[in-house]
Amino acid sequence: MIIVYLLGIMFIISTVLFISEIKKAPLLDDKEPFLEGDYNPKKDPTLFIYDYTEKFCKHCKFYDGTAMCLHEDNIGVVNINLIDACKKESMFEAV
């Protein structure tokens, strides 16, 4: 019988905590990306470059490991123009 009471009390406490957390949660703006850190180049284009470098350039055989693309047609510091050219010409080659 004591176990039933304990389970009931735990259910009530967890329900109260759940409702209080819902009330504290911030409202999201529909114009913003759903998750914090989602790709939004209008907010911060350097963040896009960093994310792209981490996800793709890092695994490309032409990436020098710091910030340069060493592809003969796309050589230079990784920026939005190089990323666009790489995507357009399919220059990515996995290591």
C-alpha 38/C-alpha 23 separation (Å) is 24
Percent of the chain with pLDDT strictly greater than 90: 21
Taking only the tens place, the pLDDT of each residue in 23-39 is 888 776 666 555 555 55
Taking only the tens place, the pLDDT of each residue in 35-55 is 555 555 555 666 667 777 887
* Helix (H) / strand (E) containing 69: strand 68-69
- Both tokens assigned to 42: 């209008």
For residue 71, pLDDT beyond 70: yes
Instruction: With beta carbons less than 8 A apart as the criterion, state whether 84 and 52 touch.
Output: no
pLDDT the model gives residue 45: 60
Residue 74 DSSP class: S
For residue 22, pLDDT beyond 80: yes
